[in-house]
Chains A and B, each alone.
Chain A
Amino acid sequence: GAGVSQTPSNKVTEKGKYVELRCDPISGHTALYWYRQSLGQGPEFLIYFQGTGAADDSGLPNDRFFAVRPEGSVSTLKIQRTERGDSAVYLCASSSLPGHQTSGANVLTFGAGSRLTVL
């Protein structure tokens, strides 16, 4: 697609429920990133994929969080047993090159985000 698409744009759920957030990157972009942003803070890195594999999942806060990208395109961030502290905007970004080049092509382009509210 022309840009990074994220669904749903808003999700309200109850504490303890399971949530899935979807990201459809820019067509042809091999790298995909998930970030979480709380009010008044910068984006916090969660995980990034190079192709189908998770290249770095060091930002996932605990084992309730999991992400997949089975065909190297669309990715799903899954949150089990949601807690009120999980409330945030979840941002997805993609880039066209792996991360080791100092090139403008490594620029991350963000989607509009999924706002998650856990009651």
Chain B
Amino acid sequence: QKEVEQNSGPLSVPEGAIASLNCTYSDRGSQSFFWYRQYSGKSPELIMFIYSNGDKEDGRFTAQLNKASQYVSLLIRDSQPSDSATYLCAVKFYNQGGKLIFGQGTELSVKP
């Protein structure tokens, strides 16, 4: 079983700070990487995906991928209390079809 690891947190940051969420994965044959946000009692919703090494920015969110180190991260700039949620990292592994393997999620709390 391919593995995706996240620090479960909780991670607490003050409003306006940068929140950094990290994820490691076990297989160098990984293909693409996804960050989902999940509010308590709700279903996961996609924030962004990345499949090339480097950075990808979308508004206040930046995903960073380093395949050599098997590491993907999500940075949230100017964090807001509304960003408080669990952030799920998911990996699509090569030659395993369309399924995503999820990490356990990191709980983020943004304090006003």
Identify the A interface with B (CB < 8 A). Answer: 31, 33, 35, 40-45, 48, 50, 55-56, 59, 91, 95, 97-100, 102, 104, 106-113
Q: How many residues of B contact A (CB 8 A)?
A: 26
A106, B97: Cβ atoms closer than 8 Å: no
Bound-state Cα–Cα, A43 to B43, Å: 10
Query: Are B99's CB and A40's CB within 8 A?
Result: no
A95 near B44: Cβ-Cβ < 8 Å:
no
Task: Count CB-based A-B contacts (< 8 Å).
Answer: 72
A42→B102 contact, CB < 8 A: yes
Residue pair B97, A98 in contact (C-beta under 8 Å)? yes
**Residues from chain A with Cβ under 8 Å of B34 in the complex:** 107-108
Chain A residues lying within 8 Å of B98, measured Cβ to Cβ, are 31, 33, 48, 50, 55, 95, 97-100, 106, 108
CB-CB under 8 A from A59, the residues of chain B are 99
Taking CB atoms and an 8 Å cut-off, the chain B residues in 1-52 that contact chain A are 4, 6, 8, 31-32, 34, 42-46, 49, 51
